[in-house]
Amino acid sequence: MSQPGQDAKFFQRGKIEEFRAELLAAETKDKKFVKRKTVLKKIVANITMGMDMSPLFPDVVQCLGTPLLEIKKMVYLFLVSYGRSKPDQIHLVIPNFLQDCNDRNPLIRALAIRTMSYIPIPVVTEALSDNLRHALKDRDPYVRKTAAICVAKLYSADPRKAERGGFVELLRDLMLDSNATVVANAVAALSEIGDRQDGVIFKLNLATANKLLAAIPESSEWGQIYILDSLLRYVPERHTDAEMMAERIIVQLQHGNSAVILTTIKALLYLMNYMENRQLIDYICKKMGPPLVTLLSSGPEVQYVALRNILLIIQRRPTVLKNDVRVFFCKYNDPIYIKLAKLEIMYRLARAENAKEVLAELQEYASEVDLDFVRKAVRSIGRLAIKVEAAADDCIQALLDLIETKVTYVVQEAVIVIKDIFRRYPGKYEGIIPNLCENLDALDEPEAKASMVWILGQYANIIDNADELLDDLCYTFLEESTEVQLALLTAVVKLFVYKSKVDKAKELVHKVLKWTTEEADNPDLRDRGFMYWRMLAINPTVAGEIVLSEKPPITTDSDRMDRGALDQLLLHTGTLGSIYHKNPETFIRNAAGKALKDSPALNAHSRAVLIPLARTQLPSMGPIVVAGPGPTEPQAQSSPVAPLPPAKTDVDTSALPTQSSQLISPTQDDVANDQDETEEDDEPPHSRQASNLDPYSNLDNAFGGYLADEPRPMASRQHDDDDDLLF
Amino acid sequence: MISAFFIFNQKGEVLISRLYRTDFKRSIADVFRIQVVSNPDVRSPLITLGSTSFFHVRVNNLYVVAVTKTNANAALVFEFCYRFINICKSYFGKMDEESIKNNFVVVYELVDEINDFGYPQNSEIDTLKTYITTESVVSATQAPEVSSRITAQATGATSWRRSGDDVKYKKNEAFVDVVEVVNWMGSAKGTTLRADVDGHIQMRAYLSGTPECKFGLNDKLVIDRGAVGTSGPSSGLADRGGGDAVELDDCQFHQCVRLNDFDADRSISFIPPDGEFELMRYRATSNIKLPLKVIPTVTEIGTTKVSYDITLKTTFSPKLSATNVVVRIPTPLNTTDVDVGILGTGKAKYVPAENVIVWKIARLQGGQECSLSAMAQLTSTTTRQVWARPPIDVDFQVLMFTASGLIVRFLKVFEKSNYHSIKWVRYLTKANGGYQVRF
């Protein structure tokens, strides 16, 4: 640029009166409008710093007469900031707006409608309506593409009015515009409208979808994203339709913009649900891998988005990246959020063939500095042992080595996972119990302590001094957390069952039962105490059978998301929901949920597990204050269908003039046999036994605890009102 | 979509604040300041409070922040932030607090132009510069015809380039820089745990008119080529590059490259933006030529000493040399002093603040070897915390060398005036914090 700006000096707080005086002074002897420009810059800087400059409204508006674009833009910026709060004065600028709307310069025309539509109050929208209608048919594409977004703004301010004005239809027509940028913006605006709970439904038919696809090569990268995103509003009726569409968009995987890639992947994953051609599905899976890996060379923020999505994708399509575990090895200087995300993927991709490599990495991480990361690395070693039987021996050895280090949090984490390993491989590794017992004193966290106590109780028959150890642990019984108390209670009962002849065991069980029933405040603990007591009193033998009954085997199934949920979540690939692994409607107010739509082409398995979309409101939370004239809460409608206002235009594009009907009645295609199954079911489904007699079963959910540490939106725990930040 | 866009400085002061939607007030900025700027332990570039999500990207002590109340496309939001940063760099030469403050009016114009109602719009720098400038424009004097040309370009199929007649050069030149960042993780035993190359092809095109370019590499794409669909993917490799062809795992292109052409016959054809841009990015993982070998021997002698023996070897031809070699060798946190000796070239010193020995070598010829030996003295500590042993990190640059073996085979320029153009190609391989060996 010619000369660098020197405007930093304007970042100083000023007084309204001073600025007003300066503006007044600038009305005379202002050569080249330097004075006005200076004051306006000061005002904009003050707005930025959060000062209220709205009292200057009439004075600033005066500057609109200045024939300097820079000044016009600053005044417009001022109007966008304060116009809404000055409904009584805004009429002063309407003539200027109208004049600009008819300027010969397309940039000015666009600027005028863009600015007006940012001020959503009736006086302005009233004036805007006619001009916007013209702008949507302007001969200049720049004005049209701006106008398309203006419709979305108008709609968000007053949906019914925008509908009455016929703007939705105008927008629909713009989807057939000759200019790709205009098409893309029209699609973006319609999508926004369609995502509103009270909005017009936006869906695509084959002909329109194809038209949109044709616009992709000429669209800007952002436009490509809007168009690719809208493909999820098209429901293929035939396998071949889905297949052909996928073939057309697959080239976008080579695009340099990560959002284009992820949105393409989202569309491909979606279309794959409607495909039949096994070879093509395999081919697409193969093609998706490399671009996903390449995203890991982007900035850390994009890497993070990619990693969280990869975690979902590989659960649904396990062939993707199957052989690429190495690319997910952590770099020492990766940001922590990337390391944690990679760790999870490494675990998912671990198999017998690569377990050695993965384990070696995990061991490396276990000596790093970040506490959270180290703990998860240790826990992953344990999970690996449970997942890959062939690696279990090495994992156990690794865990023992880690326990040797005596670093307390490492030891505790190791103890927690070892408990699960014992359950996964009964009778195999109990020999290491002495090593664990050496570290009893290091355990100060409830989960670790409870795990250790479980081990002591469960294997009290082979631990000679189990009674002493448990007795020691019971010294602080009343100060322990409930988790540990429950564990201790059951452990001493087990001890008693094993060694009912030993005095110490008798004494101990009596002591603990007395505490739990007489002194404990926690009703669960007390109840369990009474229960054991009576069981032991009535029939000790049966009590023993119950307490030491055979436990259901541990598998790694529980940490795998089920197919229906995955199918649904993958419809949000690349979005916030895909990062938190939550459907958006569960954590964002008024967010649109998505579900696969049934059609003759939908494969049978997807249909069987399909989770239909219930248009549920977020849990009702009393009076909701929504700042500003935002969307109003739709009245609680319990019907599962979209709350449609009665006289609603449905932008089903079949109404478009250019296309012939594309609905071909399904014939032989409707027997969709799902060959998908083989691919995603690399582990047989495992039905969890409901009859869990072991009172510890709830503690075994080490994975549940692990998953709870995942990134997630900070939910409002105490007060539902916090759900939205009202500022 | 994006509801609000902010730039904060390190203190959490707002430098730019643009609310695209009415669902937030400016005070939402305070929430970000409390949650992120003044939080010493930020563990994510993204936080969600209730329905509100904050995305942030840090650059030179600035926070570029986007806020939304929808289930926004996170990749798009971050890409938008990156793009904004690039635009600022191009406009102001750098992106820091000073340049933003000095040009805040232009920045406001830009954020209004490249994003409308939270939807990113045309953000091609070349086009933006035709109508958003730091100079004052008198609106009355701007001829509508000029504006129409601008708008046609901003919405056109080649939005990244001004129309033909506007671009004139006396000398038509194109510079191609192949820059490879080589990542390597070596184990203590000397084996390679992973080695890969992130390649970028930067182009500076100073070509008149509307040049049509064709670009060729010695690549053989490992991605299966062939008919898709009913006939199924064919398994043959498209080996076009001959014997010395390199395997690229993946490549991604600038918006200007015709992806359909690439898909059809692997040709890279495009009309370039005027000036500098990143033409393509690629990734290679097979047959990586590691320019430097690092052989570390680190021994902990009791609890009071650690001895180091580090040898560096170059593996490339003696005609080339590695420059700006910086080896960072971690020492335990309780190091009191280090004695360093060097065999060969370079200077080394112990930097206590970072707990590393920094060994700098200005130039290392191909085939050369040098080594460092050091002894670190440790104080006794009460904590039992074991030394995490971070990896040894090596940074360097090697000119006219590509770790992947990639070579530019041709760059053809066609323009209707049929001018002669000169093309320059440079190769650079460097390590950028990802060339590490464990010990």
Q: What is the pLDDT of residues B287-303, one digit of tens each?
A: 999 999 999 999 988 88
**Is A5 in contact with B102 (CB distance < 8 Å)?**
yes
User: Could you tell me the two tokens for A96?
Assistant: 């200027």
State pLDDT tens for residues B373-383. 999 999 877 66
User: Could you tell me the two tokens for A704?
Assistant: 């549940």
To the nearest whole number, what is the mean pLDDT of chain B?
Answer: 88
3-class DSSP state of B120: strand
Largest CA distance in chain B: 81
Chain B CB contacts of A327 below 8 Å: 194, 196
Measure the N-to-C terminal CA separation of chain B; round to a whole number of Å.
47
Share of chain A above pLDDT 70, in %: 83
Chain B CB contacts of A244 below 8 Å: 229
Q: Kindly give the residue spans of alpha helices, DSSP state H, lying in A83-165.
A: 94-101, 106-117, 122-135, 141-157, 159-164
Q: Is the pLDDT of residue A307 over 70?
A: yes
- Mean local confidence (pLDDT), B382-386: 63
Q: Is the pLDDT of residue A667 over 90?
A: no
Tell whether B237 is within 8 A of chain A (Cβ): no
Q: What is the pLDDT of residue A241?
A: 96
Tell whether B76 is within 8 A of chain A (Cβ): yes
Residue contact B16–A48, C-beta within 8 A = yes
Q: What phi, psi does B174 have (nearest 5°)?
A: -140, 130
- As a whole number of angstroms, the distance between CA A477 and CA A532 comes to 17
State pLDDT tens for residues B322-332. 999 999 999 99
Q: Is the pLDDT of residue B134 over 80?
A: no
Q: Which residues pair with B18 in a beta bridge?
A: B5
Q: Is the pLDDT of residue A725 over 50?
A: no
B173-186 vs B422-431, strand pairing mode: parallel
Share of chain A above pLDDT 90, in %: 67
Q: Is the pLDDT of residue A649 over 70?
A: no
Q: What is the pLDDT of residue B109?
A: 94
- Output b/e per residue, A617-643; b: 16+ Cβ within 10 A: bbeeeeeeeeeeebbeeeeeeeeeebe
- The pLDDT confidence band at residue B204, using thresholds 50, 70 and 90, is very high
Chain B CB contacts of A50 below 8 Å: 14, 17, 26-27, 29
Q: Tell me the count of A-B CB pairs closer than 8 A.
A: 376
- Give CA separation, A403 vs A216, A366, A421, A612, B244, in Å: 57, 11, 15, 48, 51
DSSP A205-274: -HHHHHHHHHHGGGS-HHHHHHHHHHGGGB--SSHHHHHHHHHHHGGGGGBS-HHHHHHHHHHHHHHHTT
Q: What is the pLDDT of residue A149?
A: 97
Measure the N-to-C terminal CA separation of chain A; round to a whole number of Å.
39
Q: Which of A222, A303, A313 to mutate to test the interface with B (most CBs of B within 10 A)?
A: A222
Q: What is the pLDDT of residue B166?
A: 80
User: Could you tell me the two tokens for B161?
Assistant: 């380039």
Question: For residue B434, what is the nearest residue in chain A, using CA coordinates?
Answer: A331
Lowest pLDDT segment from A529-543, B62-76, B128-142: B128-142
| Higher per-residue confidence, A470 vs A28 | A470
Residue contact B223–A290, C-beta within 8 A = yes
Residue contact A68–B137, C-beta within 8 A = yes
Tell whether B255 is within 8 A of chain A (Cβ): yes
Q: Is the pLDDT of residue A691 over 50?
A: no
Q: Name the residue facing B139 among A72, A222, A251 (closest C-beta).
A: A72
User: CA nearest B10: which of B81, B45, B61, B49?
Assistant: B61
- Contacts for B285 with CB less than 8 Å, ≥ 6 apart: B195, B196, B197, B249
Residues 95-124 of B with CB under 8 A from A: 98-99, 101-106, 108-109, 112, 116-117, 119-124
- Contacts for A94 with CB less than 8 Å, ≥ 6 apart: A123, A124, A127
- The pLDDT confidence band at residue A272, using thresholds 50, 70 and 90, is very high
- Contacts for B284 with CB less than 8 Å, ≥ 6 apart: B196, B197, B199, B246, B247, B248, B249, B404, B406
Q: Is the pLDDT of residue A717 over 60?
A: no
**Is A369 in contact with A354 (CB distance < 8 Å)?**
no
Amino acid letter, B23? D
User: Could you tell me the two tokens for A425?
Assistant: 């491989």
User: Could you tell me the two tokens for B163?
Assistant: 């129309």
Q: What is the pLDDT of residue B126?
A: 87
User: CA nearest B111: which of A181, A68, A118?
Assistant: A118
Helix axes B74-92, A300-316, angle to 10 degrees: 160
Residue contact A293–B249, C-beta within 8 A = yes
Tell whether B188 is within 8 A of chain A (Cβ): no
Residue contact B14–A49, C-beta within 8 A = yes
- ipTM of predicted complex: 0.90
State pLDDT tens for residues B35-75. 999 998 888 999 999 999 999 999 999 999 999 999 999 99
Residue contact B385–A580, C-beta within 8 A = no
Q: Is the pLDDT of residue A395 over 80?
A: yes
Q: H or E stretch including B68?
A: strand B62-68
The torsion region of residue B411 among left (phi > 0), alpha (psi -120 to 50) and beta comes to beta
Q: What is the pLDDT of residue B153?
A: 85
State pLDDT tens for residues B7-31. 999 999 999 999 999 999 999 999 9
3-class DSSP state of A312: helix
To the nearest whole number, what is the mean pLDDT of chain A?
Answer: 84
Q: Which of A9, A156, A257 to mutate to test the interface with B (most CBs of B within 10 A)?
A: A257
Q: Which residue has the tokens 């199918």?
A: A567
- CA A346: distance to chain centroid? 20
State pLDDT tens for residues A464-477. 889 999 999 999 99
Share of chain B above pLDDT 90, in %: 69
- The pLDDT confidence band at residue A702, using thresholds 50, 70 and 90, is very low
pTM of the predicted model, to two decimals? 0.87
State pLDDT tens for residues A216-240. 999 999 999 999 999 999 999 999 9
Residue contact A145–B103, C-beta within 8 A = no
The number of CA neighbours under 13 Å toward the Cβ of B160 is 21
Chain A CB contacts of B233 below 8 Å: 279, 282-283, 286
Q: What is the pLDDT of residue A653?
A: 46
Residue contact A68–B138, C-beta within 8 A = yes
State pLDDT tens for residues A538-567. 988 888 888 888 888 777 766 678 899 999
DSSP A682-695: SS---PPPS----T
Q: What is the pLDDT of residue A664?
A: 34
**Is A682 in contact with B18 (CB distance < 8 Å)?**
no
- Mean local confidence (pLDDT), A270-298: 95
Q: What is the pLDDT of residue A32?
A: 79
User: CA nearest A336: which of A305, A300, A366?
Assistant: A300
Question: For residue B104, what is the nearest residue in chain A, using CA coordinates?
Answer: A7
- Output b/e per residue, A239-277; b: 16+ Cβ within 10 A: bbbbbbbbbbbbbbbbbbbbbbbbbbbbbbbbbbbbbbb
- As a whole number of angstroms, the distance between CA B149 and CA B166 comes to 10
Tell whether B259 is within 8 A of chain A (Cβ): yes
Residue contact A261–B48, C-beta within 8 A = no
Q: What is the pLDDT of residue B437?
A: 94
Question: For residue A627, what is the nearest residue in chain B, using CA coordinates?
Answer: B23
Q: Is the pLDDT of residue A369 over 90?
A: no
Residue contact A48–B280, C-beta within 8 A = no
Residue contact A327–B263, C-beta within 8 A = no
- As a whole number of angstroms, the distance between CA A215 and CA A177 comes to 10
**Is A598 in contact with A607 (CB distance < 8 Å)?**
yes
Tell whether B227 is within 8 A of chain A (Cβ): no
3-class DSSP state of A27: coil
Lowest pLDDT segment from A108-112, A680-684, B349-353: A680-684
- As a whole number of angstroms, the distance between CA A675 and CA A282 comes to 11
Q: Name the residue facing B137 among A3, A69, A711 (closest C-beta).
A: A69
- As a whole number of angstroms, the distance between CA A234 and CA A482 comes to 53
Residue contact A256–B255, C-beta within 8 A = yes
- Output b/e per residue, A224-234; b: 16+ Cβ within 10 A: bbbbbbbbbbb
Residue contact A336–B43, C-beta within 8 A = yes
Q: What is the pLDDT of residue B136?
A: 53
Chain B CB contacts of A294 below 8 Å: 249-250, 252, 281, 283
- The pLDDT confidence band at residue A678, using thresholds 50, 70 and 90, is very low
Residues 346-365 of B with CB under 8 A from A: none
- As a whole number of angstroms, the distance between CA B335 and CA A62 comes to 69
